[in-house]
């Protein structure tokens, strides 16, 4: 079987891990580095009244996309190498490159992990919370708002036990400094000037005391969960990502309660996902609070305690049950 791995130049080792696991199962993995399309990678799609022919040139040579059995939509950065010297024609060139490559991928009637339409729909965090609650998962009290009056009211309602965060993950680079918005406790002084909300709404959520945190990785219809004792350090007590490197060796395998796992699988199936990374906070009384799922979440650091690359390869090689989705 031929498996296409859609990625970008600066991706991490997860792509190599899955490619090796596919090889171990008797398949062949082809890496499509989208950074190099259309400047180096060439793609041709031809349609006639009776047939379709798509060919993609890769470092390994030409690949007939009609022979591809599965596709892992890992990362996408088409048009990255189109030169700035094109001036005002660069942006439309990038957009056309992305539209063309997106279209070629969407037209492949094979297992896709996951279809772009499913990935984009999962970006809606409000919909995530609505459906998670419907499927029996416990969610923290949450407010999405750009209204200072409502934010202050919510803070009082929570007795001051409130954190703030952003719906999307991003970084701002100033010189050599990488600035990331982590989950942050809200202090009384922070409420004095909330005028910035008129430019950028934020997410506010009740602070849940933590016994530990979980990252559950859904692959097909299987759930792999790891636990980290984030409360061991003041730096990671609110957001373990503040010292993710320091906690790499601390993650260990953990089982989800059956009712939580069932709710999570219903949620990923609702979104049409065969892959998702879900975050939970477990309170001292054992209550599992669902925070969010990420259709493109990372997992490579968890390979040391969970067989995630192997599970992904088994899914792509059609060896395990999966969610049936429409591209």
* Rounded Cα distance, 286 and 195, in Å: 38
pLDDT of residue 232: 74
pLDDT of residue 176: 67
Residue 32 lies in a domain: yes
Domain of residue 231: give its range: 209-316
> How crowded is residue 51: how many other Cβ atoms within 10 Å of its Cβ?
8
Among candidate residues 113, 132, 158, the one where a domain is terminated: 113
In sequence order, which residues have a C-beta less than 8 Å from that of residue 86 and are 6 or more positions away?
Answer: 93
* Rounded Cα distance, 22 and 208, in Å: 40
CATH number of the domain that residue 303 is part of: 3.30.470.20
Instruction: Classify strands 202-206 and 142-145 as parallel, antiparallel or unpaired.
Output: antiparallel
Helix (H, G, I), strand (E, B) or coil at 277: strand
Residue 45 lies in a domain: yes
Instruction: Classify strands 68-73 and 111-113 as parallel, antiparallel or unpaired.
Output: parallel
* Rounded Cα distance, 225 and 248, in Å: 15
Residue 122 has what DSSP assignment? H
- List of the chain residues with pLDDT < 50: none
Which residues partner with 214 through β-bridges? Answer: 227, 280
């Amino acid at each position: 079987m031929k498996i296409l791995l859609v990625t970008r130049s600066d991706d991490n080792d997860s792509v190599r891990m899955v490619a090796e696991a596919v090889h171990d199962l008797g398949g062949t993995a082809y890496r499509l580095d989208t950074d190099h399309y259309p400047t180096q990678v060439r793609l041709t799609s031809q349609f006639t009244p009776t047939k379709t022919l798509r060919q993609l040139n890769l470092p390994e040579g030409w690949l007939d996309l009609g022979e591809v059995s599965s596709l892992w939509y890992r990362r996408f950065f088409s048009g990255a190498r189109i030169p700035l010297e094109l001036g005002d024609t660069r942006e439309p060139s990038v957009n056309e490159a992305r539209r063309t490559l997106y279209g070629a991928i969407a037209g492949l009637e094979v297992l896709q992990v996951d279809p772009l339409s499913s990935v984009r729909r999962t970006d809606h965090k409000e919909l995530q919370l609505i459906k998670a609650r419907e499927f029996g998962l416990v969610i923290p009290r949450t407010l999405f708002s750009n209204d200072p009056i409502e934010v202050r009211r919510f803070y009082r309602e929570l007795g001051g036990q409130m954190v703030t965060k952003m719906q999307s993950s991003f970084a701002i680079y100033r010189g050599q400094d990488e600035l990331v918005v982590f989950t942050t406790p809200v202090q009384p002084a922070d409420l004095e000037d909330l005028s910035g909300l008129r430019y950028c709404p934020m997410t506010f959520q009740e602070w849940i005391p933590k016994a530990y945190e979980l990252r559950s990785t859904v692959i097909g219809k299987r759930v792999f969960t790891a636990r980290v004792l984030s409360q061991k350090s003041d730096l990671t007590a609110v957001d373990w990502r503040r010292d993710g490197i320091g906690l790499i060796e601390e993650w260990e395998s953990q089982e989800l309660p059956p009712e939580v796992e069932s709710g999570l699988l219903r949620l990923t199936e609702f979104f049409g996902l065969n892959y998702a990374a879900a975050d939970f906070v477990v309170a001292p009384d054992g209550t599992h609070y669902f925070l969010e799922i990420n259709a493109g979440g990372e997992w490579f650091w968890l390979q040391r305690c969970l067989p995630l690359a192997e599970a992904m390869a088994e899914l792509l090689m059609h060896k395990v049950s999966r969610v049936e989705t429409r591209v």
